[in-house]
Amino acid sequence: MIRFAWQQTRNQTLIAYGLLAIVVIAAIATGIQLSHLYDSEVAHCQPSCSLAAQNYLAHDDFMDKTLDILSRAVPALLGLFWGAPLLAREFETGTYRFAWTQSVPRSRWLAIRFGVGALATLTLAALFSLTVTWWYRSRDKVGSNMYDVFDRRDIAPIGYALFAFAAGVMVGALIRRTVPAMAATLGLFVLARVAVDLWVRPHLLAAKHAVVTLARQGPVQLGIGSSNGGAVHILTQGGGPPNSWTLSSTLLTQSGQRVTSSQMTAFLQQHCPLLVNGTPPPSGGNPANDPWPQCLDEVSKTFKLEVAYQPASRYWTFQWLETAVFVVLALVAAAITYWWITRRAR
């Protein structure tokens, strides 16, 4: 039975691993050069590294974009082309009847088909994620916050791929048509990824909080403006420590209370009347009469900002937690598939 399952998926598996080999060879060839370039130009630059980092990031732009696109797409592609057709094709062509009339029970038939595909998916996703993470190891030190590329590095993509495969198998068993099952698998995968990104990941661990001042020379972005033609209000955005993941910024009074809309309106009417009434800042003349810096100075004296963030030290904790979330989702999809095949399918 294992040999038969392998023969059915052999061609697509060999093609996928052949493409992976091409990507690995290209990544090794360019990654070694990038590593030497980083060591020679960026690692020991003094006193300022901005120009050296900019020149370094300009190298291998094609490989950078290609790997970035593939790292987003590979988990979904595994679900579409390996997961969805696995059972849908059996039902669509009617070959499942031959397997079920033999001495092999449905549960064993499903376990072998699912197990062979899941193992191939897990191995390919792990090798690909390892390749991508290795290639970006020096670029990530220069050009990005580790949380900005969270879903394209390390072990999280492996969990995505395993879920995509299991979801594809489940949808294929329910729909029994290959092309509709592939479309539904893509929709389910995207829905799960978006839901976890927006509503699950930020709440996996309690955020840390820091109160920062609104000095315009600091790391806080401060301004006055309006959105969609509404009332003028204070625009603020702050960040946590280096390499942290900023979740939210909340404007507070000096006593630590959240600023209400009425308080903001009253403050702006008192200290920034020209801006509230829509009077533009002067284009010339005495800079001391410019209402913008005067208003912003009053804002920095009156308010402060509370920033909720996840520190860099929790990165790997989030990697393991999110991977576990998608592994659990994959197990749920596998359980539904098992129940449907053994109890409902005819």
DSSP string, 42-54: TTT--S--HHHHH
Mean pLDDT of 210-234: 72
| Residue 333 or 292, more confident | 333
Q: At what angle do helices 50-57 and 2-41 cross, to 10 degrees?
A: 140
Nearest to 263 by CA among 318, 223, 303, 294: 303
Q: Show the tokens assigned to 257.
A: 């209370």
The Cα 150–Cα 129 span in angstroms is: 12
CB 280 within 8 A of CB 115: no
Q: What contacts 77, CB < 8 A, 6 or more positions away?
A: none
| Residue 210 or 281, more confident | 210
| Residue 225 or 109, more confident | 109
- Is the pLDDT confidence value at 203 over 70? yes
Mean pLDDT of 328-340: 97
pLDDT tens digits for 22-48?
A: 999 999 999 999 998 888 888 777 666
Q: What contacts 270, CB < 8 A, 6 or more positions away?
A: none
Mean pLDDT of 216-235: 69
Q: Show the tokens assigned to 53.
A: 């980092």
Q: What contacts 5, CB < 8 A, 6 or more positions away?
A: 112, 113, 116
- Is the pLDDT confidence value at 218 over 60? no
Enumerate the domain spans of the chain. 2-203+314-344, 208-279+291-310
The Cα 235–Cα 76 span in angstroms is: 38
Mean pLDDT of 316-341: 97
Binning pLDDT at 50, 70 and 90, where does residue 70 land? Answer: very high
pLDDT tens digits for 177-193?
A: 999 999 999 999 999 99
What is the helix, strand, coil percentage profile of the chain, to 5?
A: 70, 10, 20
* Global pTM value: 0.90
Residue 342 CA, chain-centre distance (Å), reads: 36
Binning pLDDT at 50, 70 and 90, where does residue 256 land? Answer: confident
pLDDT at residue 1, rounded to an integer: 58
CB 26 within 8 A of CB 33: no
| Residue 63 or 281, more confident | 63
With a pLDDT cut of 90, the percent of the chain lying above it is 53
